């Protein structure tokens, strides 16, 4: 656990409220090793939690009011105080909509108390690493913790999804919340979204001399406005035309209108790639997952069409420079890519990707090595 982050959230709370918080809760961002745009099709995903987290220092308030502040270094931003019994979708915009949406959904579960939340964090924003979900999950655990109520992690994940879909207005699936809540140190989480079944699969790339390099393209994406919703509706339409409950059950795209066929092909092949990756990891054949990552990228680029020039340059250049495989992660249209790199070529991959971005006139990318880290919890 990152005690510096916990302590600085508690310290920020003390500075703003002249008293210690009752507790500090935190939740990580995530990398999805493979299994993209499969979650809302009832399919398979394979994420791990990254070390970067959002911390929420919190205390109850007797007056039913929710106060929200974010602290970044010397900068504090405070949102309009909200009456928890009155907060409704559409009433809050910007970053405050995430914790407000969580308070709104918890109210429907009978958890209604006011609270003061002070938020800090280091998950890069708009980078496809789930910064907003980490804020929602940490807020949910804080409000739940203050209320003294218990809930299962899968219930919390579902509540956070409702907040995200119906309050924030982003039609996302269950991948990000579940990753933030249920991932564990040194493992990837093999999640079957349909059944809710989870398996923690050991993931120790370092033992194989490998690293997962995250390349943040700095192209900011919004799941509220992007083609995300359009893809999701396309999948729903395809499932309806195939007479299936969801594309999880699809075995062919034959007979579908031409514009839906590639969507279905992506979902079918991506679910297979997730299962194949898990199998290779179980057998300790780490190097062999590289081609599956690259095939996932090609499928997202050509069939699902959610990539962008920066993600394509990042993935292609990483491979040319010696990565075993590379792919965009998250919703797409910006955000981050990952590359599976032998440790000794990481520097070369970073250098060549930076060069390619400069040559193309793109903003310089940010890179870091992601290691599977702990999921959300109470830190203090």
Q: Which is nearer to ligand GLA, 237 or 348 (CB)?
A: 237
CB of 376 to ligand GLA, least distance (A): 16
Q: Does 203 bind ligand GLA (CB under 6 A)?
A: no
In the chain, DSSP finds a helix count (H) and a strand count (E) of 10, 14
In the Cβ-directed half-sphere of 308, how many Cα atoms lie within 13 Å? 21
Going along 108-245, which residue ranges are E strands? 114-121, 187-192, 198-202, 210-216
For 12-22, give one letter per residue: b (16+ CB within 10 A) or e.
bbeebbeeebb
CB of 325 to ligand GLA, least distance (A): 17
Catalytically annotated residue among 39, 42, 176, 379: 176
Q: Which is nearer to ligand GLA, 40 or 159 (CB)?
A: 40
Q: In what order do the strands lie in the sheet with 325-328?
A: 325-328, 336-342, 210-216, 366-370
Name which of residues 27 to 56 contact ligand GLA (CB under 6 A): 36-37, 39-40
Name which of residues 307 to 346 contact ligand GLA (CB under 6 A): 330-331
Q: How many residues bind ligand GLA (CB under 6 A)?
A: 11
| Alpha helices for 78-208 (secondary structure H) | 97-107, 131-147, 153-162, 175-182
**Residues 217, 218, 219: CA angle, nearest 5 degrees:** 90
Q: Which stretch binds ligand GLA (CB under 6 A): 14-22, 171-179, 189-197, 237-245?
A: 171-179
Q: Is there a catalytic annotation at residue 192?
A: no
Q: Does 176 bind ligand GLA (CB under 6 A)?
A: yes
SS3 of 169, please?
coil
Q: Does 70 bind ligand GLA (CB under 6 A)?
A: no
CB of 175 to ligand GLA, least distance (A): 4
CB of 47 to ligand GLA, least distance (A): 9
Q: Does 175 bind ligand GLA (CB under 6 A)?
A: yes
Q: Does 180 bind ligand GLA (CB under 6 A)?
A: no
Decide if 321 contacts 188 (C-beta within 8 A).
no
Of residues 6, 70, 131, 172, which one binds ligand GLA by CB under 6 A? 172
Q: Which residues are catalytic?
A: 176
């Amino acid at each position: 656990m990152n005690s510096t982050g916990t302590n600085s959230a508690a310290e920020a709370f003390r500075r703003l409220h002249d008293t210690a918080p009752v507790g500090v809760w935190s939740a990580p961002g995530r990398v999805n090793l493979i299994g993209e745009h499969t979650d809302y099709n009832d399919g398979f995903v394979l994420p791990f939690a990254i070390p970067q987290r959002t911390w929420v220092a919190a205390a109850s308030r007797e007056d039913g009011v929710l106060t929200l502040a974010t602290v970044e270094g010397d900068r504090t931003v405070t949102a309009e105080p909200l009456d928890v019994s009155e907060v409704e979708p559409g009433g809050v915009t910007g970053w405050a909509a995430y914790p407000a949406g969580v308070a709104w959904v918890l109210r429907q579960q009978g958890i209604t108390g006011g609270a003061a939340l002070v938020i800090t964090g280091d998950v890069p924003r708009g980078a496809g690493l789930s910064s907003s979900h980490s804020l929602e999950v940490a807020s949910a655990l804080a409000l739940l913790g203050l209320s003294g109520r218990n809930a299962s992690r899968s219930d919390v994940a579902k509540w956070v999804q409702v907040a995200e879909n119906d309050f924030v207005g982003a039609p996302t699936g269950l991948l990000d919340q579940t990753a933030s809540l249920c991932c564990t140190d040194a493992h990837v989480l093999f999640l079957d979204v349909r059944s809710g079944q989870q398996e923690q699969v050991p993931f120790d790339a370092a033992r194989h001399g490998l690293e997962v390099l995250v390349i943040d393209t700095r192209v900011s994406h919004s799941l509220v406005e992007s083609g995300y919703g359009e893809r999701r509706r396309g999948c729903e339409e395809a499932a309806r035309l195939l007479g299936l409950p969801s594309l999880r059950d699809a075995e062919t795209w034959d007979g579908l209108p031409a514009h839906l066929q590639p969507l279905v092909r992506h979902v079918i092949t991506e679910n297979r790639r997730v299962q194949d990756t898990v199998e290779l990891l179980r057998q300790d054949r780490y190097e062999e997952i590289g081609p599956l990552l690259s095939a996932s990228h090609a499928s997202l680029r050509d069939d699902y069409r959610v990539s962008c020039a920066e993600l394509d340059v990042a993935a292609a250049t990483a491979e040319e420079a010696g990565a075993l495989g590379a792919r965009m992660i998250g919703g797409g249209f910006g955000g981050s890519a990952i590359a599976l790199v032998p440790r000794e070529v990481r520097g070369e991959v970073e250098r060549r990707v930076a060069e390619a971005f400069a040559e193309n006139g793109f903003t310089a990318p940010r890179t870091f090595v992601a290691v599977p880290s702990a999921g959300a919890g109470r830190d203090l």
